[in-house]
Structure 1
């Protein structure tokens, strides 16, 4: 399931960024930077978390509800389109 992939990617990136201010600064959302062509910030901030408590709580919640939401999106919008909308929901 996509949910487990999201949990894995988010956890790895967040943990890597906890000790790396440069990485956190590069991916965090800042409207002024996004307006200067760094459009990727609209998506990368979704995989960053402030600390371990924030990360664990969010991944715990995603673990329990993400699968149901993913299945609902696939049923409503179709397989690939549902996955796309689910990913879009996560990163926005």
Structure 2
């Protein structure tokens, strides 16, 4: 054997390395999908309650348990009260 050359492995060792490499690549792919799904579920649990709150804020009923129709009166009432109290507070003092 010449100096500086490496001996070739047996053919069975080569197939084991190929099988191991394919398995490792498959595990990595599954891991990437797992990380993505984990992030997706986390964002869902963070944003879903906020979206439900915004959706139910347009409910015409005073109760959240019963949907009676679409309205924006709750938002107009908030802006009227806020604007009215700040003007009254600044003129009386």
Band of TM-score, shorter chain = under 0.3
| Structure with more helix by fraction | 1
Larger radius of gyration: 2
Q: So what's the TM-score if we normalise by structure 2?
A: 0.27
Q: So what's the TM-score if we normalise by structure 1?
A: 0.28
